[in-house]
Structure 1
Amino acid sequence: MVAPLKVGIAGLGTVGAEVVRLIEAQQSILSARCGRGIKVVAVTARNKSKKRGIDLRGIDWMKDPLAVATHPEVDCFVELMGGAGDPALSSISAALAAGKSVVTANKALVAKHGVKLATLAEKHGGALNYEAAVAGAVPVIKTIREGLSGTSINRVYGILNGTCNYILTRMEQEGLSFAECLKDAQRLGYAEAEPSFDVDGYDTAQKLAILASLAFGTKVNESAVSVEGISTIAAEDLRAAADLGYRIKLLGVAMRTKTGIEQRVHPTMVPLTSSIAQVMGVTNAVTIDGAGIAPITLVGPGAGGAATASAVLADVADVARNVRALPFAQPVAKLKTTTKAPMERHEGGYYIRLMARDLAGTAARIATRLAEQKISLESIVQKHPNGGLEPIDGTKKSSPVPVILITYATSEDAMRRALQAVQKDKVISGKPQVIRIEKN
């Protein structure tokens, strides 16, 4: 009989404990699918006495992660501690240097040190699997790295943060403010007490950097991602989007352009008819546009103990079956270096909300400034008192009027120059709200 794969786990929080439970509960299924058993032989965590609801009898409890990573019986080291530095980095590095395989859910570590770790994996022959680092139970890593290995990918984009999607869903459905929805998300445990990493887009940026590397053969570089969060989105933007046939989502988008690989995270208007517009609440989704095929959208739970543990165990099962895929789909030596693409080069449609002042010729002045930058308008409407939208008709108002502009494809640089000119003309109040539009 083939000897079981012996696993060591560092980190026994919600995900780690669930991995231990799943391995024990699904022994017969795993043995049948992998051709061998999977056995946890060593673990470590910060608190040995904590109640976890799992049976650790017969499993070595080690003093620290490095001891698990270098344990002579461990074939596969599973890192579930988190953090972009030590002890995660040093313990994974030690395991790979010893020729062991590694499974991790650590997006921060892969985004920052993925190339270094992939180099170790290639040199010493172990696997480096990280499906759970991006979109939880949604198998997007395997889909891009293996399922679409024969397809040239043009664009990959998606909803990669459940916290932000939950907040935007609640804002849209209940007409609540960002602050109200964030507070409720914190109460329910969807958002951290310090939520900026999620709502400012940085969590999504780390995941996008990983997907971009897989899709386009680039070195993982989270600093190459342009990032904007959702805190400036107002309820009126969500209502206007719905009236115009769109829905607002925080998207991570990586795509080929004439000037290189563009990577960006920002609130985005997507057509209501698109698959990604239907994804609500804490659910994640990723759409892949490949040459010669219709877009593929993967949807599922992006966080939570059970979802993440499922992805971790799938990676462990690959190791047990002796499946070895290059960490970033091709040798590290062939990965291209990428730099941050200036957002000024971005081309696409835009939603612009202005507070137009009650001045003669305001609409004409706005239109003139846009025309000077060769920006064509798909529509220009003002808010009706009943909350709907209607074409601008020149009716005088006693206070600033919300005006919504939808542009055809233009450059970000042209759009910014036009809006700067409009502000200098002093025909609007406050700062314009600008949201990019992503077509199907």
Structure 2
Amino acid sequence: MENVLRIGVAGLGTVGSSLIKIIQEREERLKGTDHLSFVVSAISARDRNIDRGIDLVDAEWFDDPIVMADKADIDVFVEVIGGKGYPAYDSVRVALIRGCHVVTANKALIANHGVDLALLAQKNKTTLSFEAAVAGGIPVIKVLKDYVEYDKINRIYGIINGTCNYMLSHMNKMELSFEECLDEAKRCGYAEDNAEFDINGIDSTHKLAILSSIAFGINTSVEGIYCEGISSITLEDVRVAADFGYDIKLLAIAQRKDEKIVRYVYPALLKSDSTMALVDGITNAVVIETEVLGKLVMIGPGAGGNPTASAVLDNICNIAKIDTKKSVSLALDNVSSTLIGQCNNAYEQEKEYFIRLKIRNDEGVLDKIIAQMADFHIFFRLLTCPHQDENSQECSVFMITHEVSGISIHNAIQCINDKSDVIQYSRVICIENL
């Protein structure tokens, strides 16, 4: 008699629909040597009348995912609804309490409730898997889980939001404004209609919370993560950075510092020929630095229906093999909140900085500002005033400093912003040598 793994899918958006399509198209291949069939036996979504291009006839339909989690004849509950609260959280809890295996692609859910849900899974002798929650097409969670068993991770960083990376890449290539690139990303399906979570860095913050929890054994909470998005990046910033030999990328970084783990999400300048700067479009990249291995770089598709659905399916396959070691992804025996360092400002570090000023276009104003910066021991190795119109009352100035304390930068900018010569608040972007 053929064995069957019954799967319930909550959410039929891009990921849920792609998952069902892959399972149906690869039915024979998924059976393997143990002849275990994957069957989508239950479905929950908002509207059963939408044509999603997949066969849903044989699946039991539930209007409420919580009822499906509680009542459906399933072995695995797949949550791809999204959101940290109702109904995603409630349905996952119900499924775990019932003893179902849970697979989710919901980074907000895991970042806010990961440890509690993993403990609930452990209590009910089942599994909670979330490989798809971070960098969909890159198996970073699986790799991290393997390495933490025998190696010490010192730093993990990367580009983990495809929307922002697409926009910054497109601004650079096509010379489009931020707003034009956002509209383009929405048209291409790379950004939600409401892209605030992406462009403000919140999506990356959730993902970084998950990665750092596994890498360092800390709580999945986003508390203490410095977060800054890309909404204030202008086309002129991107142009001048390129002229200086840099690309702007939204980075997520977690590292050991003074026996704490500090974490931050922020835009940074990277040398244009560096590995991370060459990560283009919706592609994601994650770098793991360890004591034994050194540096491991993983690059791949970070978002979209098929990459994320593929990661969900990989978790389901692990469950089918009873490989609970690969399915439970939090180091629950070592979860700690004491290691979490508060990172109030990513610019506290001693680095080079990119500064944008908009000042009055009067003789002597720039010299005065340079002298004021020198009072804070800030000196410049590059400076430009692009496209300056001598008849304009204002001009933009772009500078790259020599290596300097972030505290000095903060104090100097605060002082300069208070002067009448500065028309618009200064923009500071850190330069990372990754």
TM-score when scaled to structure 1? Answer: 0.89
| Alignment-derived partner of residue 144 in structure 2 | 144
| Alignment-derived partner of residue 117 in structure 2 | 117
User: Residue 278 of structure 1 aligns to a residue in which SS?
Assistant: coil
| Alignment-derived partner of residue 380 in structure 1 | 382
Q: What one-letter code is carried by the residue in structure 2 that aligns with 1:105?
A: A
| Alignment-derived partner of residue 277 in structure 2 | 277
- Once the two structures are TM-superposed, the CA of residue 376 in structure 1 deviates from its matched residue by 5.1
How big is the alpha-carbon RMSD for the aligned residues of Structure 1 and Structure 2?
2.7
Q: Is 1:349 aligned with 2:352?
A: yes
| Alignment-derived partner of residue 336 in structure 2 | 335
Structure 1 window deviating more from structure 2 (231-240 vs 33-42): it is: 33-42
Q: Is the 8 A contact 2:42 2:72 kept in 1?
A: no
Q: Is the 8 A contact 1:199 1:230 kept in 2?
A: yes
| Alignment-derived partner of residue 417 in structure 1 | 411
CA distance in 2: counterparts of 1:302 and 1:43, whole angstroms: 25
User: Residue 222 of structure 1 aligns to a residue in which SS?
Assistant: coil
Q: Is 1:66 aligned with 2:69?
A: no
- Once the two structures are TM-superposed, the CA of residue 367 in structure 1 deviates from its matched residue by 4.2
- Once the two structures are TM-superposed, the CA of residue 366 in structure 1 deviates from its matched residue by 3.7
Q: What one-letter code is carried by the residue in structure 2 that aligns with 1:300?
A: G
CA distance 1:362–1:9, change in 2 (3 Å): same
| Alignment-derived partner of residue 179 in structure 2 | 179
Residue-by-residue CA offset, 1:178-228 (whole Å, 9 max, x unaligned): 122222223333223322222111111111111121122110112322221
CA distance in 2: counterparts of 1:249 and 1:33, whole angstroms: 45
CA distance in 2: counterparts of 1:418 and 1:259, whole angstroms: 30
TM-score when scaled to structure 2? Answer: 0.90
Aligned equivalent of 1:405, options 399, 405, 417: 399
Q: What one-letter code is carried by the residue in structure 2 that aligns with 1:140?
A: V
User: Residue 165 of structure 1 aligns to a residue in which SS?
Assistant: helix
| Alignment-derived partner of residue 310 in structure 1 | 310
Residue-by-residue CA offset, 1:242-274 (whole Å, 9 max, x unaligned): 122210011122222226222212211111122
Q: Is the 8 A contact 1:382 1:401 kept in 2?
A: no
Percent same amino acid among aligned pairs?
A: 40
Q: Is the 8 A contact 1:115 1:332 kept in 2?
A: no
CA distance 1:99–1:408, change in 2 (3 Å): farther
Q: Is the 8 A contact 2:388 2:396 kept in 1?
A: no
CA distance in 2: counterparts of 1:367 and 1:376, whole angstroms: 8
**Which consecutive unaligned segments of at least 5 residues does structure 2 have?**
none
Structure 1 window deviating more from structure 2 (325-334 vs 212-221): it is: 325-334
CA distance 1:345–1:60, change in 2 (3 Å): same
CA distance 1:291–1:280, change in 2 (3 Å): same
Q: Is 1:225 aligned with 2:219?
A: no
CA distance in 1: counterparts of 2:361 and 2:51, whole angstroms: 65
Residue-by-residue CA offset, 1:308-347 (whole Å, 9 max, x unaligned): 1111101100111111137444125533343532216444
CA distance in 1: counterparts of 2:215 and 2:344, whole angstroms: 20
CA distance in 1: counterparts of 2:299 and 2:202, whole angstroms: 21
Q: What one-letter code is carried by the residue in structure 1 that aligns with 2:400?
A: I
